[in-house]
Structures are given as C-alpha cells and as structure tokens.
A and B are shown apart, each in its own frame.
Chain A
C-alpha cells in the first residue's frame, strides 16, 4: 500500500515535469517539434503501468523512495523553486548516495526554468542550491548520528557498502561478477575506475547539452541504471519513466527496434537463466552474467540513441534546412 502511494507520488511529480514542458522548450532553448508531445496523463500512465515499475512495487525495495525523491527534485527544479528541489535531492542522495551527481544539471534546470521577470543569475542559483543541499545533508546525517547513539560507524556500513561493494549478490549490473573475479590487488583501483566512469559523464553532458538540463538528467539516470554499483530494474523504470518526455525525438532514433528487442530478450531470459543457475543448478554463473551483459548493452544503446536524437534535434534548430536529411558526424 505504502509503495503504491509512493509510486503515485512519483507519477504526480512526473506529470508536473511533463506539464512544464521543460523537455521540449525552455527559456533558452525550444525544439522545433515542441508540439509533438504526449499528455502528462499519458506519461504518468506510461510510468505507472510500466511492467518494471509494477515489478518493483511488488518487490518493495527501498530504491522506490530514492526514485520518488529524485522525481520530486526534478519536478521542483522544473518549476524552478530551488529549495524544495534541493531538499528532495538531499533526501535521495542521503538514501543512496549516487543522486548527488545530479546537482549540476538540476541547478541548470532551476536556472533555466525560472519565470520571474528578472531571473536570478546562475551564481545566485548555485549558491542558494548548494547551501540548501549541504545544510540538508548535514542535518540528515547529524540526525542519523544522533539516532545511532553517537557513533559514526553507520557511515562505513551504509555508504561504505555503496562505495566499496562488499556485497556481491548477483544483480542486473556489471559490477558484481567483475568484482567476484577481480584479483585482490586491483580491487580498489577498479572500484575507483568504475566510480569515475560513472561520474565522468556529468560534466561532459551538462556542458554539451547546456540548453536542455532536463535531458541531461534523463541521460544520466539512464547511465546510472546501467553502471551504478547495485543497479536494479527500479532504476531502469525511473529512466523509462522520463523517456516519454522526449516523444518528439523518437522519430529521430535509429535503433528503436533493435534496442526494444534486445531489452525484451534480456528481460525474458534473465530470470530464466538466474533460475537455471541458482535453483535448477543446470547452468552456471556465466549464463546469468551473459544476460546482464546483453541487458547493459541494450540500455546503453538506448541512451546513446536518445542522445543522438536529441543532439540531432538541437542541430536542426541550428540549421532548419537540414530537417529529414541524412546526416553524418565528423
């Protein structure tokens, strides 16, 4: 019941985002296809009736709360009231650490979406946002410090688990098998590399897509769903929830059929192979590992393809005559 409520909350904030239309047009950028959209109701429904979302709701994980917090943060940012957005972001990153990487695009979003007659400068927005975020995080951690009876051990046993991956239980991600098989002397190094790989996209994306911070967020969420330490289908459902906002660039995507089929394939075969390995014992770990590879590959193709489409869209804004022509990248 609680989880259904949480999902409904996320859906509502998702619909807020959709209503702002930040995905297609903002103060600094407007797509040419801004009229091609789905209604917010449709988007919310697409989220709610997404099989991944339903499965997540049934499994009742805590990541649902993180997702809800992230969506709320995005919604608040899309309506450009900074403080609640940052509070929600603080909550989500307090829950599972990685959303902290969403700060830059969120700040940009807040900045772009403000409708006041004389908008604040980017500096003001950043300062307010950062102060709010830091104070909120310190408050949260301080509270938990008090609750755990005045010991900092909870840090190592909560965020340490996120950072150092002591738990190698199989999931849809790439980390677990890699670090099962990794040699001990290299473990720390590759943990660092994986985290950097996760963090490296933030700067590049938010610079290149300066004008569409909401899309940066979407793209980042997609990347997180693939490359975060303990990914699950709930992260995928979050990414897929934001996907319909970009209905207008779907025609520009190239590998739609391929990606959908790959993801379906992985979705169907993953549980089967997991069953074969763990319960039937007739297959070994490589079965499931291969499926996770396929799954990550498919998702990354989706992200890349969406990125391509959005870039193309932006480029066509720059050169309207190129609409519908074949393009190449140099």
Chain B
C-alpha cells in the first residue's frame, strides 16, 4: 500500500530526528529522582498528531476565515474621491458663459457691418470686467434672420408668449440694425416677446472703415451692457458664494478628514481669486439685493408642484372657475417656462378657514373704511395647524398660492402699512386677498361662485410671484431674455450644488470608515461626474440648454448618491462589545489550537536545524 510505504519512509526519516528532538526532555527527566524515562515517541504518532493539528487548522483557515470575512465585512464601493474633491473645490471646472449675440444689418454693406461689429466688440471688451461672462458678437445672414423672425411671428401669433429657446439656443440676443431718420440720436427697442433688440440708427452714423470708434458702436455696447448687467451680477454672485462655500467646506473637511496638507491652500486660493475677481464687479447693495432674492427663491428642481387654494372663513364662495383661470392666465407662462422646469397643478377649496389664534386678526380702520392686517400678522396669516396645505407627495417641491376671500363683514381686507393685498412668502409661495368687488351685481354672484374675470388679478399676481419664486431676474423687460438668463443662472447654480454635494459625500466616506457604500452610490457618483463634465463643456460652447440638462441630471444623481438609505442602515456596534461577543467562544477554542500549532512549528524548525547542522558537519 502506498500509504504504508510512505509512512515507513517518513518514519525512518523522522526517527533519528525525533530522539534529537526530545533531548531536552531527557535532560529534564535526568535531574529528577526517577531515572525511568518514557520511550521515544514513535514517529507514526508524531505524524498523526501533526496531521490532527493540521486538520483542525485547515478547517479554521480554509472555512473559518472566509465565513468570518463574508459575514462581517462591510461592502465599500470604490469612489473617485480625488475627482469629487476637485469638483467640490471648483478646480475641475471653471464655468464660463460666452453669450452669442448676432447682429443683423440688412441695410448695411458687409464691410461696414463687419467694421461696426468689430468696434462694438472692442467697446464691449473694454467695459467687461467679469471674465467668466462675456458677450461675443457675430454677424448673421439676413436669410436665416428672415425665417427666424418668421418663426418668431408665427409662434407669437400662436400662443401669446414666445420662448423660441430651442430653435436658436446658441443665440442669446438678436440685434437688428434698422435705419432710422437721420439726425436723431440712435434709439433701441427691446422686443418684449422675443429676444430681439431693434436698434434704429441714423444713417450718417455709420462708422467709416478708418475710424476706430463710433457713437453707434458705443451706444450698442452700452445697451448690451445694461441688458446683461443683472445676469452678470447674478452669475458672479452665485459663483462667488459657491466658491466661498466650497472653500469653507474644504477647510472644514481638512480638519474633519485629517488630511490637512493637500487641498486647503489651492481651494482657498481659487476661492480667493474668484471672489476677488467678483467683489469688484459687485457693489455691496447689489450683492445684498441678490442675496435677498436668492434666499427668497426656491431651490431648483426639474418639476414644481403648484397648489392653488381658495380659503374663505365662511361657507361661501365655495366654488371657483379654476380650470378657465389656469387655462387663460397661467398655462402660457408655464409653457414658456417648460424648457427649464415642468409644473403640475392642483387646486382646492377650503371653507371655514379660521385664523390661527396667534394672529390678532384684522381691525377696522375707519378712515379708509377697510379692515387692515398689521404686517407682523402676515407671517402668522397661514394657519399651518388648521389649513390643509401639506406639501404634495412625490419628489417635486410644492409652491402654494393662496387666494383668501374674507367674509362679507370683514371686507375689504388690506395690509395695514402699504394698503396692499398680496404678499410673497419666501421659498413657500404667495398669498393674495381677494376682496369681493364693490358692485352689487358682481358681489351677488361672487358670493357663491368666483368667475374667471374675478380671478384675473389674482392670477396675474400669482404669475409674478411664481417668476420671482423661481428666481428670474427683473431687469430686461423681455420675458424670453429673462428666461434665457434664468436657464444660464440655474445651470450655474446646479453645477455648483452638485459639485458641493459630491464634496460632502467624499468627506463623509473619509470621515466614517464604518459605513457601507453600496454599488449604487458609486454608480450615481460616476454618472454625476460625467454629466458635470458634459455640462461644463457645453457651457464653454455656449449651449446653455444642454448645459442645463446635464447639470440637472448631475444634481439629481448626486442627491440620490448622497441620500442612499442603505448607507446608514448598518448599525454602529462598538468594538469592546465585539470583543465581548467574540472572545468567550473563540478565545478558549483558539488557545489550544495556537499552542499546539506553535509546538509543531517549533518541532519542524528544530528538525530542520538539526538536518542543516548535520549537513554542515558532514
């Protein structure tokens, strides 16, 4: 039998080793009184013992360790921490906003137009001091002008308000040069329904090819400047706050994550230089103004949920012509907002809506013979406990618009200080008090039912409130321009918020090594990074729609990754408790195993030594 033979061989090998191995025992034995000593242990049993120990250890190593690893390991997906940090510090991408402005001069020769364009461009570049946001002029062919305007007209006729964003998204503004009557200074009209600036110039002011500057060029330049002043200011403000917050986060993170060396200085510097480049662009009052507006406006989301509620203290009016009102007064605006956000609408009628006890309630003011609300009551006007204004379920944030119809004996109801009847609640919605019209015929039918013409003022107010809640700038009177500006501003802010979310996620993973990071988080982080890259690139190319799309997706993905539930699912279990759980079983079991493993190893080592010594002696 092979086994037996092998055993025999080994025994012959191990016998002489073993008695060498047991010399010290003999030494021990000899100095005790009893001279008897145990016979040398047969090699067979030694081998068997080795095998036994080995078998136990084999079970421990080949089965125990994998089980331990599998059952108590925490899965942590690999995250590109460095890139995330870079994005958070604003080092990865510096958003720039090159605005294409096309000039059409159908009644100018090519050369003159070119020259005019060049001079205007010079004038612009001289004035512009904010590098991230600059205007680039280009001359466009009258042909495309024609069909573009035709398109514009068509849409205008079609739906009242036009946001021709998609067909000419590259072109931020259209400057159309038209000859006016000579002698008069040049004048400009900004079309309020399309992003078009019509400049009427006296023919004699066409700059000759030699002259380096012309009043017309400077006039156009200043016009453009003032049109885009507010947008510049907003973007500058957003970038500065984003950078400063990023720098603050990084400085905080360096303390938190304990790697103080690498990132703070560059972050600080980048933040500093960006801020320094912006502070001089922003006067203090403008900055404060912007701050107020941004705090008031809602956080961006791809869809908003509008809730229109009719509240009345009594039983009437109990119905309103809401479908028509929304159809007529609101949907055009929402239509033109659609490339930026989608909206869902719901409405409700709430009777017997009483003020909250905290409000003192209106008091009668005889000299204007109206009931007046003191301003300090406006904050508590919304009776959050009683009125069912719960935010609607689903991810979208809810914007509440409340139409309050005071009871007949309490009307007209106005705000005490400014006699106004509507106000805006930051990041929440707007309130409008609708006093029943004075004329009895209307009042009679208003008592039970509100017709859409009664609702008209309310909804105009609501639409303005909605615009300012969304953060649209006021300055250029042209709505499409404002919406374009809004899209740019939104994409900037989305970019920054997504990157800062990435940064905080990175710092979280560094700070808490014990939380698990599922694969979903890694996936969404990767998506975020790629979309951020795209957004940045398309900003550089001036394709703001696509930039907005990418930034939106990036933001959503970043949020999803950051608020992954299973990351916090695993409970924290302190280490001393782990010891108390492991030790009672594994300690007593482990000790003999370890001891005998050590003995065996010692024996093998000694055999090896002896063998080598013999080899050396020989």
Contact = CB atoms under 8 A, between A and B. Distances in A.
Q: Do A and B come from one complex?
A: yes
B64 A196 contact: yes
B445 interface: no
A189 B71 contact: yes
A186 B584 CA distance: 14
Interface residues of B, number: 27
A279 interface: no
A157 interface: no
B56 interface: yes
A189 B67 contact: yes
Contacts of B585: 190, 193
B111 interface: no
Contact of B573 (A185, A190, A193, A319): A185
Given A121-B1, A185-B573, A208-B48, A200 B72 contact: no
A242 B3 CA distance: 30
B387 to A, nearest CB: 44
Contacts of B393: none
B3 A193 contact: no
Nearest to B1: A121
Contacts of A197: 589
A121 B1 CA distance: 8
Contact of B67 (A196, A204, A210, A318): A196
Interface string A300-314: 000000000000000
Interface string B1-28: 1010000000000000000000000000
A122 B39 CA distance: 32
Contacts of B48: 207-208, 210
A196 B71 contact: no
Contacts of B570: 185
B55 A204 contact: yes
A183 B573 contact: yes
A193 B42 CA distance: 35
Interface string B39-57: 1001000001101100110
A193 B52 contact: no
A86 to B, nearest CB: 22
B581 interface: yes
Given A199-B59, A208-B48, A186 B67 contact: no
Given A189-B68, A189-B72, A196 B59 contact: yes
A278 B499 CA distance: 61
A150 interface: no
A103 to B, nearest CB: 15
A199 B62 CA distance: 12
Given A189-B67, A189-B72, A196-B67, A207 B55 contact: yes
Interface string A70-94: 0000000000000000000000000
A192 interface: yes
A167 interface: no
Contacts of A188: 70-71
Interface string A183-216: 1011011101100110110011001101000000
B56 A192 contact: no
A189 B581 CA distance: 11
Contact of A192 (B49, B52, B71): B71
B56 A203 contact: yes
A208 B42 CA distance: 14
Contacts of A122: 1, 3
Interface string B202-235: 0000000000000000000000000000000000
Nearest to B58: A203
Which of B39, B56, B570 counts the most chain A CB atoms within 10 A? B56
A170 B64 CA distance: 27
Contacts of B51: 207
A189 B444 CA distance: 78
Contacts of B68: 189, 192
A192 B55 contact: no
Contacts of B64: 192-193, 196
B284 interface: no
A196 B51 CA distance: 18
B616 interface: no
A44 B463 CA distance: 97
Contacts of A319: 39
A186 B51 CA distance: 32
B581 A186 contact: yes
Nearest to B59: A200
A203 B59 contact: yes
Nearest to A209: B48
Nearest to A193: B585
B571 interface: yes
A256 B76 CA distance: 55
Contacts of A186: 72, 581
B63 A199 contact: yes
Contacts of A210: 48
Contacts of B56: 200, 203-204
Interface in B438-474: none
B600 to A, nearest CB: 14
A182 B302 CA distance: 47
Contacts of A200: 56, 59-60
Contacts of B49: 208
A203 B581 contact: no
Given A185-B571, A196-B59, A203-B59, A208 B67 contact: no
Interface in B54-101: 55-56, 58-60, 63-64, 67-68, 70-72
Nearest to A330: B38
Nearest to A119: B1
A186 B55 CA distance: 26
A318 B570 CA distance: 58
A88 B49 CA distance: 32
A318 B70 CA distance: 45
A204 B573 CA distance: 36
Interface string A103-146: 00000000000000000011000000000000000000000000
A187 to B, nearest CB: 8
A192 B586 CA distance: 13
A211 to B, nearest CB: 10
A192 B67 contact: yes
Interface string B301-339: 000000000000000000000000000000000000000
B581 A183 contact: yes
Which of A183, A186, A200, A318 counts the most chain B CB atoms within 10 A? A200
Contacts of B58: 203
Contacts of B573: 183, 185
A188 B52 CA distance: 27
Nearest to B55: A203
A201 to B, nearest CB: 9
A185 B589 CA distance: 22
A210 B55 CA distance: 14
Nearest to B50: A207
A119 to B, nearest CB: 10
A185 B575 CA distance: 13
A193 B571 contact: no
20 contacts: A183-B573, A185-B72, A185-B573, A188-B71, A189-B68, A189-B72, A192-B63, A192-B67, A193-B64, A196-B59, A196-B63, A196-B64, A199-B59, A199-B63, A203-B52, A203-B55, A203-B59, A204-B55, A207-B52, A319-B39
Given A193-B586, A203-B58, A204-B55, 11 more contacts: A121-B1, A183-B573, A186-B581, A188-B71, A196-B59, A196-B63, A196-B67, A197-B589, A204-B52, A207-B48, A210-B48
The 8 residue pairs across chains A and B that have the minimum distance between CB atoms: A203-B55, A192-B67, A188-B71, A189-B71, A200-B59, A204-B52, A207-B51, A208-B52
Interface of B: 1, 3, 39, 42, 48-49, 51-52, 55-56, 58-60, 63-64, 67-68, 70-72, 570-571, 573, 581, 585-586, 589
